[in-house]
């Protein structure tokens, strides 16, 4: 089996190399036969990679411990659900999964563009397959998932207990889907540069891919944060770890790209800037992979130290040099006439939004690599952790939130001062009322006041956009409000999907601010029957019991939580003890939209005396629901455009009827 | 209020203040167990003996009357700068803090000037068009259109 897997990878490597070459040559020579050959090569690469993935999955499911990867990440007692997830739990498996996704996406774009984009497609296949070549090189020569063990163990090492969590099953594949997804718009951007077709075609062709990748990255980061919250047991969800930063960086530049392409589509401006953004986004996905897999920057989430670092740096260098060289060659063709009707226009706010997003990405990138820079310059290794990122990212984030609210109030091309005053009146008034209420309630922290006030400003702005749109539509088309609302959203999914994403952003800001600023914590050592108070809650420690798990011994505390003398929850935080691994802490959380009560069982004694750490995390649920809202908004934005579909259908019918009329005339004749 | 009650309340307040100080310091230090997290976060899971030792040391120093800066300085002298969760705001480390904001500010000024220039050039073109190309009747319609668009928005 391993021989078959290795050979599949080797032939896939050769096929991807061939397909990359024939794709680019086919595009250059405009030779349809070479394009066809590139297509078939890509298809063969996909089949072979699928075979390799199938073999590894089979080995995992059958617990073939003669394969090093299987022995390192599974054990006989590991449940099947997590055994399958072991495919991406380790370095080699996840690289194979990545390569498989890339070949799958290549096949999908080949099918999607079977009859269109014949000028871009060969180059796009060439670029996608070139990226695949790199991953196959890693899989064959440095991180082979089919490496055999001479003396197979009776049982495997099993998965790291912290990875045994549903959040961790979905988090990596979603991130990979996002990372690999951004390869598609990047490939089409390079195809546009290589072919010289530099209109908006490459953007329109990959619009859904871009939003889909963005959705996957949003969901992936959200699952990662949720996993950290429920599994790592420190009461938080984002520690500004280098690997976490690596996940958020392409998301930020991808967000900038999603906004910026709208200006190119509407006004034909910023062609070079959009190219730069998609190149940076793809480069950051590779940078993220480098951080996670090289071990160069220490992180609790990384796969550990490996020899992959230099290879990723070389690959990153090749990507950046090639892309920017092509961009330089085409800079004359990409130059566009820059004219703005007014400084007060949506175009301006989008550009400032881009500035802040790229500035934020730079700040996080800079903080992530600063320990290496410091060591190189001063010879002193330093740490750049949460205090730095919070201080740097918060003001930029708040400015972005402000622009999120301002943008819908300003029209494309120009906005008159009168209009500006009219549009700003209600949102500004309501947000100032919010500010007053917060101040009276005793909140004095500037950032907290700004965050909630701006959140109110954005929420009101978006609400008014829906209201104004619905009323206008109801008036013009004489529809009732529900129908008008439905059709308003249905006929402009991209715009209103975007607004729903912004509602999600507001919820995320509320969640982050609430859970950071108002978090309460307390540590207490109690005997059964004793209680502790935190905020308006009283936690009664009832008992300590033990239980045998599949491969661990568990010690579980029972606590009941009271508010105003009424029991509201029973919580069971526990500690798990494994034979060959460090013990883990399983927190228990009572979740409401208002706040979470988060209980960690620390130490305990023979007489059942136990130490608990309890957090009250206000509004943290808003973060998860906000993230989900962003995903839903994104899904709406890529929904089928019914108006376009109807128009196409009409045109098709017109063509058909012309054809029949012509036929009828001929028959008559 | 009885004297004992007063003493009890005062000691409770002092203990709370000390706990807040300890908590703040724990958020400024990185645990030396190589987890890469702050002492506060690493201790959260209550698995790390290193974090527990650091916390005990912080508590001792705070109890002896040291300020936050003094406690942090004593940890830096023991473990080096690496133990701080964020770089200091002096010397070369200052670049970590200010470079992102300098770049944003400079690009912002550049962007503002560019946008103003684009808007001016567009205005000039449109004024020339209005002066020469549009007849009075057309200008009337342009005004009407502007007004309708304004109302629609």
Report DSSP letters for B77-142, one per residue: HHH-GGGBSS--SSGGGHHHHHHHHHHHHHHHHHHHHHHHHHHHHHHHHHHHHHHHT--HHHHHHH
- Which of A135, A159, A183 is the last residue in one of the domains? A159
Same domain flag for A234 and A250? yes
Same domain flag for A494 and A592? no
Residue B152: pLDDT band with limits 50, 70, 90: low
Q: What is the mean pLDDT of chain A?
A: 90
pLDDT at A212: 97
Dihedral pair phi/psi, residue A342, rounded to 5°: -155, 155
* Cβ A337 vs Cβ A164: under 8 Å: no
Q: Across chain A, how many H-helices and E-strands are there?
A: 21, 10
Report DSSP letters for B30-43, one per residue. B-TTTT-SBHHHHH
**How many domains is chain A partitioned into structurally?**
5
Residue-range definition of the domain harbouring residue A466: 416-513+627-638
Fold of B3-86: Helicase, Ruva Protein; domain 3 (1.10.8)
Q: What is the mean pLDDT of chain B?
A: 82
Mean pLDDT (10-residue bins), chain A, 669 residues: 92 97 94 94 97 96 94 90 90 94 97 90 96 96 92 86 81 93 97 92 93 96 92 88 92 96 88 95 93 68 69 94 96 80 85 96 95 91 92 96 92 81 92 96 94 97 94 92 94 94 97 94 92 94 92 92 94 88 87 95 90 94 97 94 60 54 46
pLDDT at A667: 42
80-139 in chain B: CB under 8 A from chain A:
80-87, 92-93, 96-97, 99-101, 103-104, 107-108, 111, 114-116, 118-119, 121-123, 125-126
- Which of A106, A127, A159 is the last residue in one of the domains? A159
- Which of A408, A436, A470 is the last residue in one of the domains? A408
- Residue A111: CATH number of its domain: 1.20.120
Nearest of A230, A304, A229 to residue B34 by alpha carbon? A304
Tell me the pairing of strands A588-591 and A574-578: unpaired
Tell me the pairing of strands A595-604 and A588-591: antiparallel
Same domain flag for A475 and A326? no
Same domain flag for A244 and A338? yes
Domain ranges of chain B: 3-86, 94-152
- How far apart are the two ends of chain B, measured CA to CA in Å? 66
pLDDT at A652: 56
Same domain flag for A200 and A319? yes
List of chain B residues whose C-beta atoms are within 8 Å of the C-beta of residue A382: 81-82, 84, 87, 93
Distance CA A299, CA A288 (A): 12
Same domain flag for A178 and A264? yes
Lowest model confidence (mean pLDDT) among A120-134, A314-328, B34-48, B49-63 = B34-48
List of chain A residues whose C-beta atoms are within 8 Å of the C-beta of residue B148: none
Q: Give the pair of three-digit tokens for residue A542.
A: 């009832």
Cβ contact, residue pair B107, A611, below 8 Å: no
Cβ contact, residue pair A352, B35, below 8 Å: no
List of chain A residues whose C-beta atoms are within 8 Å of the C-beta of residue B84: 382-383
pLDDT at A523: 85
Write the ipTM.
0.84
Same domain flag for A129 and A233? no
Cβ contact, residue pair A382, B37, below 8 Å: no
Dihedral pair phi/psi, residue A507, rounded to 5°: -60, -40
Global confidence as pTM: 0.89
Same domain flag for A148 and A282? no
**Identity of the residue in B44, B47, B119 whose CB atom sits nearest the CB atom of A342:** B119
pLDDT at A660: 44
Which single residue is written with the structure tokens 């939580």?
A561
Tell me the pairing of strands A537-548 and A552-563: antiparallel
Same domain flag for A313 and A441? no
pLDDT at A668: 44
Same domain flag for A6 and A153? yes
């Amino acid at each position: 089996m391993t021989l078959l897997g290795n050979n599949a990878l080797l032939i896939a490597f050769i096929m991807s190399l061939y397909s990359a070459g024939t794709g680019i040559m086919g595009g250059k020579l405009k030779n349809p036969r070479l394009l066809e050959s590139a297509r078939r090569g890509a298809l063969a690469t996909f089949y072979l990679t699928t075979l390799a993935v199938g073999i590894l999955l089979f080995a995992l499911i059958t617990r073939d411990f003669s394969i090093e990867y299987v022995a390192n990440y599974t054990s006989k007692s590991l449940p099947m659900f997590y055994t399958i997830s072991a495919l991406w739990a380790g370095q080699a498996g996840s690289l194979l999964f990545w390569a498989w996704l890339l070949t799958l996406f290549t096949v999908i774009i080949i099918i999607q563009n079977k009859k269109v984009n014949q000028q871009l497609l060969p180059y796009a296949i060439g670029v996608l397959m070139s990226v695949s070549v790199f991953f196959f090189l890693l899989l064959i020569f440095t991180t082979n998932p089919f490496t055999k063990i001479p003396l197979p163990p009776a049982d495997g090492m099993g998965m790291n207990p912290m990875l045994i969590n549903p959040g961790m099953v979905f988090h990596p594949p979603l991130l990979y889907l996002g990372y690999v997804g951004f390869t598609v718009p990047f490939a089409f951007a390079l195809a546009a540069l290589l072919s010289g077709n530099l209109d908006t075609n490459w953007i329109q062709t990959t619009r859904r891919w871009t939003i889909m990748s963005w959705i996957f990255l949003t969901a992936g980061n959200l699952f990662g944060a949720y996993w950290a919250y429920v599994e790592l047991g420190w009461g938080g969800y984002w520690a500004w770890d280098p690997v976490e930063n690596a996940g958020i960086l392409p998301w930020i530049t991808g967000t900038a790209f999603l906004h910026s392409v709208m200006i190119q589509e509407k006004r034909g401006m910023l062609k070079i800037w959009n190219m730069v953004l998609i190149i940076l986004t793809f480069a950051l996905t590779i940078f993220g992979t480098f951080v996670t897999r090289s071990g160069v920057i220490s992180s609790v989430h990384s796969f550990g130290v490996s020899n992959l670092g230099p290879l990723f740096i070389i690959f990153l260098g090749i990507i950046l040099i090639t892309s920017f060289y092509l961009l330089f060659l085409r800079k004359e063709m990409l130059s566009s006439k820059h004219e703005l009707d007014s400084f007060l226009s949506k175009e301006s706010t989008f550009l400032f939004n881009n500035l802040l997003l790229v500035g934020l990405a730079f700040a996080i990138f800079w903080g992530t690599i600063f320990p290496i820079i410091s060591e190189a310059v001063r010879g002193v290794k330093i740490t750049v952790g949460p205090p730095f990122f919070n201080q740097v990212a918060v003001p930029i984030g708040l400015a972005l939130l402000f622009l999120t609210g301002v943008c819908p109030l300003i029209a494309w091309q120009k906005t008159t001062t009168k209009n500006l005053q009219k549009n700003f009146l209600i949102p500004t008034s309501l947000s100032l009322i919010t500010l007053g209420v917060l101040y009276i309630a005793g909140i004095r922290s500037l950032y907290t006041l700004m965050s909630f006030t701006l959140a109110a400003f954005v929420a009101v702005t978006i609400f008014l956009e829906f209201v104004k749109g619905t009323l206008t539509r109801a008036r013009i088309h004489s529809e009732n409000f529900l129908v008008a609302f439905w059709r308003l959203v249905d006929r402009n999914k991209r715009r209103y999907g975007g607004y729903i994403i912004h509602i999600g952003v507001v919820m995320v800001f509320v969640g982050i601010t609430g859970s950071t600023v108002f978090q309460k914590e307390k540590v207490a050592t109690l005997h059964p029957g004793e209680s502790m108070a935190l905020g308006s809650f009283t936690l009664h420690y009832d008992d300590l019991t033990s239980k045998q798990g599949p491969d661990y011994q568990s010690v579980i505390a029972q606590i009941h939580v009271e508010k105003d003398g009424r029991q509201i929850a029973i919580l069971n935080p526990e500690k798990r003890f494994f034979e060959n691994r460090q013990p883990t802490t399983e927190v228990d959380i009572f979740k409401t939209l208002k706040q979470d009560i988060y209980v960690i069982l620390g130490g305990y004694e023979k007489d059942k005396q136990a130490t608990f750490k309890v957090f009250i995390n206000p509004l943290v649920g808003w973060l998860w629901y906000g993230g989900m809202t962003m995903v839903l908004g994104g899904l709406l934005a890529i929904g089928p455009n019914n108006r376009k579909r109807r128009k196409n259908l009409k045109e098709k019918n017109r063509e058909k009827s012309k054809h029949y009329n012509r036929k009828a005339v001929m028959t008559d004749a | 209020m009885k004297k004992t009650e007063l003493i009890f309340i005062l000691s409770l307040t002092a203990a709370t203040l000390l706990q807040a100080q300890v908590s703040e310091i724990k958020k400024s230090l990185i645990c030396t167990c190589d987890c890469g997290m702050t002492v506060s976060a690493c201790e959260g899971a209550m698995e790390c003996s290193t974090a527990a030792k650091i916390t005990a040391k912080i508590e001792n120093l705070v109890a002896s009357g040291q300020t936050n800066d003094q406690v942090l300085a004593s940890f830096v002298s023991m473990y080096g700068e690496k133990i701080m969760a964020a770089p200091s705001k002096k010397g070369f480390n200052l670049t970590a803090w200010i470079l992102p904001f300098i770049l944003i500010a400079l690009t912002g000024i550049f962007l503002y000037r560019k946008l103003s220039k684009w808007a001016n050039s567009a205005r000039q073109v449109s004024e020339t068009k209005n002066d020469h190309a549009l007849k009075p009747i057309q200008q009337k319609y342009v005004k009407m259109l502007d007004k309708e668009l304004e109302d629609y928005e």
